[in-house]
Amino acid sequence: MTTSRVPSKPLRWLLFSLPMILLLMLPMVALITGASWADLQAGLRRPTFHAALQLSLTTSLGSLFLIIVLGSPLAWWLAQGQRKGHRLVELLVNLPIVLPPAVMGLALLQTYGRQGLIGALGLPISFSSWGVVMAQVVVSAPFYILAAAAAFRSVDMDLIVVARSLGASPSKAFLKIALPLSLPGLIAGAALAWARALGEFGATLLFAGNLPGRTQTMPLAIYQALETDLRTAMALALVLTLLCFGMLFLLRWTSGRLQS
Q: Is there a domain that residue 35 lies in?
A: no
Q: How far apart are CA 52 and CA 237, in angstroms?
A: 12
Residue 1: the pLDDT is 47
User: Does residue 255 contact residue 65 with C-beta atoms inside 8 Å?
Assistant: no
Integer-rounded Cα radius of gyration of the chain: 22
Q: Is there a domain that residue 33 lies in?
A: no
**CA 180, 72, 172 angle in degrees (round to 5)?**
50
Closest C-alpha to 68, from 185, 177, 154: 185
- CATH (domain of 217): 1.10.3720.10
Q: Is there a domain that residue 73 lies in?
A: yes
Q: Is there a domain that residue 11 lies in?
A: no
Residue 3: the pLDDT is 53
- Rounded alpha-carbon distances, angstroms, from residue 23 to 35, 169, 186, 238: 20, 51, 29, 18
Q: Is there a domain that residue 87 lies in?
A: yes
Residue 93: the pLDDT is 94
- Rounded alpha-carbon distances, angstroms, from residue 99 to 9, 106, 110, 202: 40, 11, 16, 11
Q: Which residue positions in the chain have pLDDT lower than 50?
A: 1
Residue 4: the pLDDT is 55
Residue 7: the pLDDT is 56
Residue 2: the pLDDT is 52
Q: How far apart are CA 132 and CA 128, in angstroms?
A: 7
Q: What is the pLDDT of residues 22-40, one digit of tens each?
A: 999 998 888 888 777 777 7
Closest C-alpha to 182, from 64, 66, 92, 75: 75
The chain-wide mean pLDDT, for the chain, equals: 87
pTM (2 d.p.): 0.86
Percent residues over pLDDT 70 in the chain: 95
- E strand or H helix at 15: helix 10-34
E strand spans, the chain: none
Closest C-alpha to 204, from 143, 133, 99: 133
User: Does residue 77 contact residue 147 with C-beta atoms inside 8 Å?
Assistant: no
Residue 198: the pLDDT is 92
Task: Compute, in degrees rounded to 10, the torsion defined by CA atoms 146, 152, 153, 154.
Answer: 120
Q: Is there a domain that residue 4 lies in?
A: no
Q: Is there a domain that residue 74 lies in?
A: yes
Total structural domains within the chain: 1
Q: Is there a domain that residue 230 lies in?
A: yes
Domain that holds residue 191: 46-259
